[in-house]
């Protein structure tokens, strides 16, 4: 055999091996040796080969919990960074409550780093990156409930094997992503529309993309849609300020895979695309396999209310207040032009008698770039400073959740947030629109014409800005007679 031929064969073999490693993930068992006492020891080993990846990760919102507000209407050009680190929501509200940011000690469980227990944190220390929360595939890797560290108690009990977790690293699975995203808002299925622990191994009927192969689904990973580049993960949450790149259905459904090609009504359906988002027809309901939280009344904290189970979920907890839950929920619909309107810390509330919009899509029927999207309409109430007329940040962790004392919690919260507390408060209602993006149904279960038109009541056409059903009164792009 000639030398050139042999070289070509060797080179081809190397390329095949390289591709195989890239797809399946390199076996790290031969590179990683323990035992390990904590997460930082594992990360130091990772840094031996992945210095660049660490540097890239430290530029992301997963690390900083903040980014430029390119997603918020009117703030797109701001250079100041916003995110979970300095914004509030209508769930556990804020991580800024308490002197020196004491609340970080609990909320930081979902930060992909170690040791962020107080407001001041050294974001330059690469050894504090938690590589395993995203990349450990075995070993039952867990984080402690508080302290922002590896769960050493689980290690002592033999429930978690830190060395095995370190050796098993590979591309993230749905379980890795779900470790935080399934449990947003403090528990399973609380925050998101159709994103909970049942999505780790869903049936095709629940989600056609992530459904298991055995059920006829495509068994897609999260990153199949949420494409990552230099550790920056695509996705624009309807509740957050920043995104690095968007996720669109057209990423896959274009060209030869363009939608509606086999549909007898394909031409009619394609006319909808300029006005109706894919999700609107293809996510007819959310929370298919587990109920999601639909409301949260903080004003009931400390009361003695009997909890009545709803879909096997409690409707009252003395330290958190009252809740309602929904299953197989029909979304509400609103226009979205790609940006959101957001309540920002310190914003003055003009009319406390009206619900405060925590987050909602921006756009109207007159905005040609806007489309109709589906949302989970989440309601509740939160304390407002009676004098300063802004939503107050309170210390829930190790304060309100212990003694139910609102005045104390609000005073301590002010020490952490820097927003003065006048000494008087009242509760105001809040509303949050949470985009329904997951649990895409099989095409056979997509909305049919009669559900929205010809007497169908799914769409509130007048609330969307139409005179009535567009089939009768005309669509927004129809030429005026």
Does the bond joining 35 to the residue before it have cis omega, within 30 degrees of 0? Answer: yes
pLDDT at residue 13, rounded to an integer: 39
Residue 219, pLDDT > 70, answer yes
C-alpha dihedral sign at 94, 98, 100, 105: negative
pLDDT at residue 1, rounded to an integer: 45
The whole-chain average pLDDT of the chain stands at: 93
Cα–Cα dist 377/332, whole Å: 7
Cα–Cα dist 357/44, whole Å: 44
pLDDT in tens, 381-392: 999 999 999 999
pLDDT in tens, 110-142: 999 999 999 999 999 999 999 999 999 999 999
Residue 199, pLDDT > 80, answer yes
C-alpha closest to that of 41 among 149, 127, 152, 156: 127
């Amino acid at each position: 055999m000639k030398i050139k031929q042999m070289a070509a064969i060797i080179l081809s073999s190397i390329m095949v091996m390289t591709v195989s490693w890239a797809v399946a993930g390199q076996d790290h068992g031969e590179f990683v040796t323990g035992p390990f006492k904590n997460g930082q020891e594992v990360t130091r080993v990772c840094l031996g080969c992945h210095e660049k990846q660490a540097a890239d990760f430290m530029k992301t919102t997963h690390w900083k919990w903040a980014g430029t507000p390119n997603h918020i209407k009117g703030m797109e050009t701001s250079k100041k960074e916003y995110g979970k680190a300095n914004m509030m929501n209508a769930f556990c509200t804020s991580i800024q409550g308490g002197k020196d940011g004491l609340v970080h000690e609990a909320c930081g469980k979902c930060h992909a780093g170690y040791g962020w227990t107080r407001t001041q944190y050294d974001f330059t220390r690469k050894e504090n990156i938690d590589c395993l929360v995203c990349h450990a595939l075995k070993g039952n890797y867990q984080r402690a409930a508080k302290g922002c560290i590896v769960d050493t108690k689980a290690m002592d009990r033999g429930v978690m094997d830190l060395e095995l977790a370190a050796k098993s690293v590979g591309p993230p699975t749905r379980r890795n992503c779900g470790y935080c995203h399934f449990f947003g808002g403090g528990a399973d299925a609380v925050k998101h529309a159709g994103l909970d622990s049942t999505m780790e191994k869903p049936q095709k009927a629940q989600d056609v993309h992530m459904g298991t192969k055995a059920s006829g689904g495509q068994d897609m990973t999260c990153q199949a849609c949420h494409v990552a580049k230099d550790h920056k993960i695509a996705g624009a949450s309807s509740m957050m300020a920043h995104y690095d790149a968007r996720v669109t259905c057209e990423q896959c459904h274009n060209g030869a895979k363009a939608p509606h090609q086999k549909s007898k009504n394909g031409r009619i359906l394609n006319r909808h695309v300029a006005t109706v988002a894919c999700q609107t027809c293809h996510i007819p309901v959310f929370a298919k396999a587990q109920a999601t939280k639909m409301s949260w009344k903080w004003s009931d904290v400390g009361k003695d209310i009997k909890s009545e189970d709803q879909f096997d979920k409690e409707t009252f907890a003395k330290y958190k207040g009252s809740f309602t839950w929904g299953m197989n929920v029909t979304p509400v619909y609103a226009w979205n032009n790609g940006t959101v309107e957001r309540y920002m810390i310190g914003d003055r509330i003009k009319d406390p008698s009206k619900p405060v919009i925590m987050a909602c899509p921006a756009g109207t029927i007159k905005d040609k770039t806007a489309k109709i999207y589906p949302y989970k309409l989440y309601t509740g109430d939160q304390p407002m400073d009676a004098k300063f007329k802004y939503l107050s940040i309170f210390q829930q962790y190790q304060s309100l959740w212990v003694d139910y004392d609102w005045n104390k919690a609000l005073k301590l919260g002010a020490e952490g947030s820097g927003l003065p507390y006048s000494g008087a408060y009242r509760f105001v209602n809040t509303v949050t629109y949470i985009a329904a993006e997951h649990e895409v149904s099989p095409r056979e279960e997509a909305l049919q014409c009669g559900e929205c038109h010809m007497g169908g009541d799914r769409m509130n056409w007048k609330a969307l800005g139409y005179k009535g059903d567009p089939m009768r009164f005309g669509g927004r792009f129809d030429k005026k007679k």
